[in-house]
Structure 1
Amino acid sequence: MKLPPLNALPAFEAVARLNSFTKAADELNVSQSAISHQIRALESYLGEDLFTRQGRKLSLTEEGQNYWEAISSSLSQIERASEQLQGVASSEIRLALFSSFAVRWLIPNLPSLQRNHPEVDLQLEMKNDNPVLSDHTADCFVTIQPESKGYSMDLLYIEKLFPICSRSYWNQMCDTLYQQGKIDTLTPAHLPAELLFQFPLLSTISIFDKPKQDWQRWAYAGRLSIPDTVRYQQFSHMLLTLEAARHHQGIALTNDYMYDPDRDSDLIRLPCHDFITDDKFYFAFKTSRRNEPSIMKVRQWIQKTARSTGLI
């Protein structure tokens, strides 16, 4: 087995992660010159430059980036295997997930994890986009990526969108439609979907990365065409759209993890059709880490909670 200078690998991983020789030296409790010597020895062994230096700016070369991604995962596995044999496996677990899923579903349900598994220290890494599946990012993930080599996926949720508004706005809508003779009761059990188009529609751009696409697809699912006279308000994120609906600004499209009838008593789900998007949410973890107790506890808890809250 031909291996590189093993003492140089932790030094390289620290410099790459911290983007600093000084910080790496402080973390490893060695001198900066020792770190520099180890990096030079590793570069000499590999025959490649791992870093580029322009003045005080330090960055990984393409070869360095690829090498870091490969060896840091292996170093982490060695560390975890050693801790398990010593009986001191870490209870700290980093979970990376969408900010909306974290704020509206995970955090309100976290007390049950803390009650059932107080030994698990769950650290949340909130992301605006789909989190990158990598040990650099987190230990486990909530992702809409359906598969990735080396990762196991548990289905948590198949997204569907449906219209909501504030209770106050709903009462105003019903009063208007009743006065117009379009409904025969102020508390309709079903509302013809086309009647929504005379009220402002609150649209979330990030759902399909195109303006108004959420409502366009909802209408298409109901075999409807939205008239050109419809008034839209557009928001970058569903959290903003939900707050606009809460403040009586119009009708929004949301999903099951964003809307909880028990917690959101000031909002009402309109009696119209819903539609299923292409997004499926998964709990993901590296298959090689399937025997780590803390990851398995989080996995079992999130599956159980998804079932009990009606996500799956």
Structure 2
Amino acid sequence: MSRPSLYALQGFVAAARHGNLSHAAQSLHLTVSALSHQIRGLEEQLGQRLFVRKARGVELTADGQRLFERVAEHLEAIEQAMRPYRARRDDVLTITVLPSFATSWLVPRLPGFVDLHPRLEINLQSTADLVDFERDLGIDAGLRFGHGEWPGLRTVHLFDDWVMPSASPALLERLGRPTLRTLERFPLLSAAGNWSRWFETYGGTPPRRFVATFDDSETMLRAAVEGLGVALGRSTLMRPLVKAGLLVPLFSERLKSDKAYHLVYPPRSDDHAGLVAFREWLLAEARSYAALDSTPPPVEVRAPAGQRGTARKAR
């Protein structure tokens, strides 16, 4: 029997790990048809059926499982050994970035960077998942919101963030504008537990229940725009909505977040020419933004026209 090709074994292992030919083909940058052809050829060469095709994917047969256990770790060892020798293109920069930060801060500024470096190709991967730079060698750097503690990575602090209450003009028209003392009687939206800090700092008691609780700040701010309640949101995410007139900051008071925005990257990216240029530009943009953000958005203290009522309690 002739020796199976390395590509066929690689395709087999990917299909076994994903349990889905479409996902496996995508991870290998192949078409599903090409991957299916590889696996079919391997089955014919070995004289064994390796997969059972099912409605939602594929499943290893007993023979397929034995083959997987014997070859998967060796393919992984080859992959590990070849990683240091992969060619890197300095004119292509791949960055992972939080979706909310990409939308509210990075993308509106990115044309300025592209104008300065028209020959550099920027690939943005928008995800909230943390990247394993040891495994994901195609990713050069990441933009993250956190405490700045990512072991084994270079960490460049960009700027701090602040949280402050805001509401839609429609909600203020309906309920009036709260004061620091009456805020607890308004319908409040919750995310990340910052309301406790707010009331500890500025007085009052958090409500027994919130109108709605979110695990995503961007979704919470969208709910505030729709008039569902008052959001305690991060200024970086809020500023575009405030500028567009969709949200109104309620007070000049605000809280400094215990997290900040950072550029992170592995030591292997130290001399990446594209990243060096991006880092220099990013730090300049961050300094300009931090200077702007040192002053809270202006607060209109006048109550909405025709509205002098008292806010009803959130139920």
TM-score, length-normalised on structure 2? Answer: 0.65
Unaligned runs of 5+ in 2: 43-58, 295-315
The offset of 1:141, in angstroms, is 0.6
Match in the other structure for 1:246? 225
Match in the other structure for 1:292? 272
- 1:123 and 1:239 map into 2 onto residues whose CA distance is 22
The offset of 1:294, in angstroms, is 1.1
The offset of 1:269, in angstroms, is 1.3
- 1:263 and 1:11 map into 2 onto residues whose CA distance is 55
Unaligned runs of 5+ in 1: 1-6, 37-52, 82-88, 178-190, 208-212
Match in the other structure for 1:198? 185
Label 1:146 to 1:246 Cα distance change in 2 as closer, same or farther (>3 A): same
Deviations 1:42-95 (A, max 9, x none): xxxxxxxxxxx932977976x957984x865663442236xxxxxxx3522221
C-alpha RMSD of matched pairs (Å): 4.1
The offset of 1:25, in angstroms, is 11
User: For 2:258, which of 278, 282, 292 is the aligned residue?
Assistant: 278
Match in the other structure for 2:91? 91
- 1:309 and 1:233 map into 2 onto residues whose CA distance is 31
The offset of 1:149, in angstroms, is 4.2
Q: Contact 1:163/1:270 (CA < 8 Å) preserved in 2? A: yes
Deviations 1:18-52 (A, max 9, x none): 758x956969x9x959x98xxxxxxxxxxxxxxxx
Label 1:236 to 1:150 Cα distance change in 2 as closer, same or farther (>3 A): closer
Instruction: Report sequence identity in percent.
Output: 19
Number of residue pairs matched by the alignment: 257
SS at match of 1:258: helix
- 1:25 and 1:110 map into 2 onto residues whose CA distance is 28
Q: 1:102 and 2:102 equivalent?
A: yes
The offset of 1:163, in angstroms, is 0.7
Match in the other structure for 1:142? 143
Q: Contact 1:25/1:32 (CA < 8 Å) preserved in 2? A: no
- 2:87 and 2:173 map into 1 onto residues whose CA distance is 57
Match in the other structure for 1:78? 85
Label 1:60 to 1:292 Cα distance change in 2 as closer, same or farther (>3 A): farther
Match in the other structure for 2:288? 308
Label 1:253 to 1:117 Cα distance change in 2 as closer, same or farther (>3 A): same
The offset of 1:258, in angstroms, is 0.2
SS at match of 2:248: strand
TM-score, length-normalised on structure 1? Answer: 0.65
Label 1:173 to 1:60 Cα distance change in 2 as closer, same or farther (>3 A): farther
Deviations 1:242-273 (A, max 9, x none): 11111222210111220225743332211153
Amino acid at match of 1:139: D
- 1:79 and 1:11 map into 2 onto residues whose CA distance is 21
Match in the other structure for 2:214? 235
